[in-house]
Chain A
Amino acid sequence: MPGRPGILRALLARVLGPGVVGRSLLGDLDEEFADRAAADPRAARRWYRREAAGVMWRARRIRTGDAGRSWRTHQPKGKGDPMLQVLWNDVKGAVRTLRKEPRFTIVASITLALGVGAVVSIFSVVNGVLLKPLPHPNPDRLVNVWSNATGLGYNQFPLSPDLYYFYARHQQVFDELAMFQRGRVNLTDTGTPEVIASVATTANYFPTLGVRMVMGRGYRDEEDRPDAPRVAVVSHRFWTNRLAGDSAVLGRQIRLDGQPTEIIGVAPAWLDEDDSAEVFVPTRIDPDQPPAGSFGWNAVGRLRDGVSAGEAAAGLVPLVDRFKEEVAVSGNYRAFLTKGEYRPVVNLLKEDVVGSVREPLWILLGTVGMVLLIACANVANLFLVRADGRQRELAVRSALGASRSSLVRRVLTEALVLASLGTTLGVAVSAAALPALLRLAPGIIPRLDQVSIDVAVVFVAVVAAVLSAMVFGLAPALRYTNASALGALRHGGRGGTDDPARRRGRNLLVVGQTALALILLVGSGLLVRSFANLMATELGFEPDRVLTFRVALPDAAYPESADILGFDERLRTALAAVPGVASVSAVTVLPLAAGAPGTAHEFEGQPIAAGQLPPMVHFKTVAPAYFETMGIALLQGRDFHAGDTRDGVRHVIVNRALADLYWPGENPLGRRVRLGASGAPQPMPWSTVVGLVGTERQDGLRLPPRPLIYYGFNETANNGTPRQLSYVAKGLGPSVSGEGVRQAVWSVDASMPITSMQTMDEIVDGSVVQFTFTMLTLGIAAGLALALGAIGLYGVLSYTVALRTREIGVRLALGAQPSRVMRSVVLSGAAITAVGLAIGLAGAFGLTRFLTGILYETEPLDPATFAGMTLALFVVALVASLLPARRAAAVSPLESMRTE
């Protein structure tokens, strides 16, 4: 039964054993889980966890096995389990010992807390975002269906309704396949006018996702027709926030885009987690006459049992071939599908939701794992140093008859107690730091609301604690309890010189730390370099002092092109009158926003042969003064102006990238282009190029700039005037007043909602914020690693010097130069560091390729970064060894003799 916590069930089965009792108990749980999951899968999972905990708690009292074998039914009471008693004594002893050494305990537990806190923080993000299942019933069967046209260089774009209905009729791989399109609608008549997120869906959208209405129903097929009365399902969020959770809401009318619409259902709360939409409305597409070749619709399907996503895609391929023969009969459409090498793509829903952050998050988790290892190495060193001092105590215990195993257990218990302390602190640190970490990452990581410190996170913290205790406790435990070490008592316990074997142990830890720190430094160095490259990218426009916002003009209030153009003109006039505004314009799609539509164009003098694909060119529609407002260079010709429509000629402006592609080395002015391909039954009129402008980054900083055609807003009357517009206003001073802009909009239309008001600078920052987040987190981890590594080296050298005080004193007394002594200490530090750096370099060579997907114009093996970071770490190591070296040189021979 998918959806049930599988690991938990396996664990339960293990605890309960193979007998009939266990099986019937598990069966009982399954049965009720299925009942509950049908109503609310999330609550059902919670319930299952609680029940499982209850069963495990009582496992020894629940009889298992058919033969009536019982789990330790009789527990010795009073005296308690002898094993437990011993363990308890060990813990008490360990706590006592640690309390006697507060400095050691505090330093060690804070070091561990840093490591564990970092791991717990990042793991809780990984857990919430990547590991927790989506809220739907059987979420691992849900897939999105996309299109690929590699022949045209298009990947993962949506479907077209005609293809969707063809799939829906003939496919054999899904239980259900639904179509939807996200959008926004203007909601009037419930207080202030607002734009809310909406989805237009086919009627089977809700069954596909497994949604059961809290109230009312989803729509029926016959309500998803062009002429059907308007109905809507509202989200749970909408219902509680805007309708006050009213139970009599069904049948009520709301006004969407000016159209009265009846509420027929309320969606469950869990859908809000996955879906930002506030209202769900039918597509109003006639299945018998779906729009052809309009690739703007998404499809979501529920895989049939036993069918994988890849098999589903393979199952759709023959349908595309049939579609070409039976439906897409027009030459261009078929050419598009054939030459474009059109293929269906089927992705798991969760993959689409979190796919883009999967890699960075795992990298971050690996990174903080290394930080924890470094912290462990530091604590292990502290342990080793401390154990030197405790040798006498251990020797006495051994002499009094303590076995080696009991001594090992004793040291390990101390490590465990320390680890628990550090972990508790670490989890507390993480609980405090997590909100701050999440604030760094607004909107860039999906499902962040799922991130919390839950059972799984605490479990990982405990595992981290136990493992780290093993890492830092075992080596000292074994080393200091072996027979030769215990001979210390016989030798009078004079630790006058440094035992090479022990020194090797400490040095090894520092080598490991150095290596890990170098790997992290190189990684974060590569990211910083990428960031610098990203920031140095030519934007093609000037973001400073530009304020933007978005409006959507509803059909009901602005039915005709002329109405829209009139609104635009009045609004631009009003905006220009706002104090402090230097220039104003409007555009369909802002730069860095992706999503400029592409369509077939024909260039005069470059006819398209029959069966060939027309060039797909992206275009935007702009009002006059767009280039001036955005600071895009006008290279040749002129801007659009208000009089453009009057001379009966149609005008376009092109960017440099387009001119270079289609008219290389030629003057683009006066050239003509038109929409559609040659040979179309009714060719569109030609438009003349009147201007050439610089190339703005349209699809984001990391993507190459795109060839673009700009259409004038005034000339759109014939081919659909856009209703969704972004306005841009450049200020004279440092910023444009948002309030002034709002008043200007409302002076033109008091019921016009304003959305997405932000500055272009914010848009630029927003486009790299995921990268910045990764870089910052990795940078913090690397900084931590560097600091811990330096402290580790410093500690080891200081300790070595302290041990060698007498030897150094003797040398100095015999005439050795202090500078030589100093050099020998620094050299030994440098030697350890060099070995660590060599290993770290090898590790970095192997590991930085995991960063390839994140880096921008930076090689994962960038020699400058590798060399720079190695040098930096080496310098830090030298500084860390300089202090102990100076102390060594300052040893007074007389004093050193006296320490005995």
Chain B
Amino acid sequence: MSRGDFLGEFEQIVLLAVARLDATAYGMEIRREIETRSGRAVTIGAVYATLDRLERKGLVQSRDDRSGGRARRFFTMTPSAADALEASRAIHARMWHGLRLRREGRRS
């Protein structure tokens, strides 16, 4: 959390996908991971844009690899990303602590 701001929801999801895929995280694979786990359609453009932002924030590192016959960009999490994710989880946990949402009559 170098800049002290919160991780956005999609940023968290992308980071988690990078973490899950470990060494094999490249754009399309990340997209697929999110799509299969979340059940929501995600475009590659959104993934790349988010990865860029995360890289600027120093949360992921990319490395270019041409071994597979074409250019691929693999992503790994930086240590500060783990901190940021943990912090996000902690914030969530604290915000939820002791809270029960009433589903009816919210507006009344």
Interface residues of A (CB under 8 A from B): 20-21, 23-25, 27-32, 50-51, 54-59, 61-63, 70
Interface residues of B (CB under 8 A from A): 26-28, 31-32, 43-46, 48-49, 52-53, 55, 64, 70-73
Min CB–CB distance B66 → chain A (angstroms): 9
Partner of A61, one of B28, B31, B49, B72: B49
Measured CA separation A304–B20 after assembly (Å): 43
Interface centre among B32, B43, B55 (most CB of A within 10 A): B43
- Find out whether the CB atom of B73 lies under 8 angstroms from the CB atom of A58: no
- Find out whether the CB atom of B28 lies under 8 angstroms from the CB atom of A31: yes
- Find out whether the CB atom of B64 lies under 8 angstroms from the CB atom of A20: yes
Partner of A20, one of B32, B44, B46, B73: B73
Partner of A28, one of B27, B46, B55: B27
Lowest 10 A-B CB distances belong to which pairs? A54-B43, A54-B45, A55-B45, A28-B28, A24-B73, A23-B71, A61-B49, A27-B70, A28-B27, A58-B49
Residues in chain A near residue B53, CB distance under 8 A = 61
In the complex formed, the residue of A with least CB distance to B64 is A20
- Find out whether the CB atom of B45 lies under 8 angstroms from the CB atom of A51: yes
Min CB–CB distance B76 → chain A (angstroms): 15
- Find out whether the CB atom of B48 lies under 8 angstroms from the CB atom of A25: yes
In the complex formed, the residue of B with least CB distance to A55 is B45
Measured CA separation A230–B50 after assembly (Å): 57
- Find out whether the CB atom of A32 lies under 8 angstroms from the CB atom of B70: no
Interface centre among B43, B45, B55 (most CB of A within 10 A): B45
- Find out whether the CB atom of A51 lies under 8 angstroms from the CB atom of B43: yes
Residues in chain B near residue A27, CB distance under 8 A = 70-72
- Find out whether the CB atom of B43 lies under 8 angstroms from the CB atom of A24: no
Partner of A62, one of B28, B49, B64, B70: B49
In the complex formed, the residue of A with least CB distance to B42 is A54
Min CB–CB distance A900 → chain B (angstroms): 65
Measured CA separation A58–B48 after assembly (Å): 9
Residues in chain A near residue B55, CB distance under 8 A = 63
- Find out whether the CB atom of A21 lies under 8 angstroms from the CB atom of B73: yes
Query: Can you show 25 pairs from A to B with CB atoms below 8 A apart?
Result: A21-B48, A23-B71, A24-B70, A24-B72, A24-B73, A25-B44, A25-B48, A27-B70, A27-B71, A27-B72, A28-B27, A28-B28, A28-B31, A30-B70, A32-B28, A54-B43, A54-B44, A55-B43, A57-B45, A58-B48, A58-B49, A59-B45, A61-B49, A62-B49, A63-B55
- Find out whether the CB atom of B43 lies under 8 angstroms from the CB atom of A62: no
Residues in chain A near residue B46, CB distance under 8 A = 54, 58
Residues in chain B near residue A55, CB distance under 8 A = 43-45, 48
In the complex formed, the residue of A with least CB distance to B44 is A51
Residues in chain A near residue B70, CB distance under 8 A = 23-24, 27, 30
Measured CA separation A227–B20 after assembly (Å): 57
Measured CA separation A20–B73 after assembly (Å): 8
- Find out whether the CB atom of B45 lies under 8 angstroms from the CB atom of A28: no
Given contacts A31-B28, A62-B49, A63-B52, are A24 and B44 in contact (CB under 8 A)? Answer: no
Min CB–CB distance B60 → chain A (angstroms): 12
Residues in chain B near residue A29, CB distance under 8 A = 28, 44
Residues in chain B near residue A54, CB distance under 8 A = 43-46
Min CB–CB distance A275 → chain B (angstroms): 31
Residues in chain B near residue A51, CB distance under 8 A = 43-45
Measured CA separation A879–B72 after assembly (Å): 72
Measured CA separation A435–B85 after assembly (Å): 56
Residues in chain A near residue B52, CB distance under 8 A = 61-63, 70
Measured CA separation A59–B46 after assembly (Å): 10
For the A-B complex with A63-B52, A70-B52 known, give 12 more contacts whose Cβ atoms are closer than 8 Å. Answer: A20-B64, A23-B70, A24-B26, A24-B64, A25-B44, A28-B44, A51-B43, A51-B45, A54-B46, A58-B46, A58-B48, A62-B52
Min CB–CB distance B52 → chain A (angstroms): 5
Measured CA separation A809–B70 after assembly (Å): 82
Measured CA separation A29–B44 after assembly (Å): 8
Measured CA separation A58–B49 after assembly (Å): 7
Min CB–CB distance A54 → chain B (angstroms): 3
In the complex formed, the residue of B with least CB distance to A16 is B48
Residues in chain A near residue B32, CB distance under 8 A = 32
Residues in chain A near residue B43, CB distance under 8 A = 50-51, 54-55
Min CB–CB distance A9 → chain B (angstroms): 13
Residues in chain A near residue B28, CB distance under 8 A = 28-29, 31-32
Residues in chain A near residue B49, CB distance under 8 A = 58, 61-62
Residues in chain A near residue B71, CB distance under 8 A = 20, 23-24, 27
Measured CA separation A54–B45 after assembly (Å): 5
Measured CA separation A570–B41 after assembly (Å): 65
In the complex formed, the residue of B with least CB distance to A52 is B45
Min CB–CB distance B64 → chain A (angstroms): 5
In the complex formed, the residue of A with least CB distance to B32 is A32
Min CB–CB distance B34 → chain A (angstroms): 13
Residues in chain B near residue A23, CB distance under 8 A = 70-71
Measured CA separation A20–B27 after assembly (Å): 13
In the complex formed, the residue of B with least CB distance to A60 is B49
In the complex formed, the residue of A with least CB distance to B53 is A61
Residues in chain A near residue B64, CB distance under 8 A = 20, 24
Measured CA separation A763–B33 after assembly (Å): 59
Residues in chain B near residue A28, CB distance under 8 A = 26-28, 31, 44, 72
Residues in chain B near residue A59, CB distance under 8 A = 45
Min CB–CB distance B82 → chain A (angstroms): 23
Measured CA separation A50–B42 after assembly (Å): 11
In the complex formed, the residue of B with least CB distance to A59 is B45
Measured CA separation A29–B31 after assembly (Å): 11
Residues in chain A near residue B45, CB distance under 8 A = 51, 54-59, 62
- Find out whether the CB atom of B48 lies under 8 angstroms from the CB atom of A62: yes
Measured CA separation A692–B59 after assembly (Å): 94
In the complex formed, the residue of A with least CB distance to B27 is A28
Measured CA separation A50–B45 after assembly (Å): 10
Measured CA separation A20–B48 after assembly (Å): 13
Measured CA separation A24–B28 after assembly (Å): 10
Measured CA separation A51–B72 after assembly (Å): 18
Measured CA separation A63–B48 after assembly (Å): 9
Residues in chain B near residue A31, CB distance under 8 A = 28
Measured CA separation A58–B44 after assembly (Å): 10
In the complex formed, the residue of B with least CB distance to A30 is B70
Min CB–CB distance B17 → chain A (angstroms): 14
Measured CA separation A61–B45 after assembly (Å): 9
Min CB–CB distance A225 → chain B (angstroms): 43
Measured CA separation A20–B53 after assembly (Å): 17
Min CB–CB distance A37 → chain B (angstroms): 14
Residues in chain B near residue A24, CB distance under 8 A = 26-27, 64, 70-73
Min CB–CB distance B24 → chain A (angstroms): 13
In the complex formed, the residue of A with least CB distance to B52 is A63
Measured CA separation A70–B53 after assembly (Å): 11
Residues in chain B near residue A70, CB distance under 8 A = 52
Residues in chain A near residue B26, CB distance under 8 A = 24, 28
Min CB–CB distance A850 → chain B (angstroms): 44
Residues in chain A near residue B72, CB distance under 8 A = 24, 27-28
Residues in chain B near residue A63, CB distance under 8 A = 52, 55
Min CB–CB distance B11 → chain A (angstroms): 13
Min CB–CB distance A35 → chain B (angstroms): 9
Measured CA separation A55–B42 after assembly (Å): 11
In the complex formed, the residue of A with least CB distance to B69 is A27
Measured CA separation A29–B72 after assembly (Å): 11
Measured CA separation A546–B48 after assembly (Å): 69
Measured CA separation A56–B45 after assembly (Å): 8
Interface centre among B31, B32, B72 (most CB of A within 10 A): B72
Measured CA separation A57–B46 after assembly (Å): 9
Interface centre among A27, A29, A30 (most CB of B within 10 A): A27
Min CB–CB distance A830 → chain B (angstroms): 61
Min CB–CB distance A99 → chain B (angstroms): 39
Measured CA separation A32–B44 after assembly (Å): 11
Measured CA separation A25–B64 after assembly (Å): 12
Min CB–CB distance B33 → chain A (angstroms): 13
Measured CA separation A404–B64 after assembly (Å): 51
Measured CA separation A215–B55 after assembly (Å): 46
Min CB–CB distance A875 → chain B (angstroms): 60
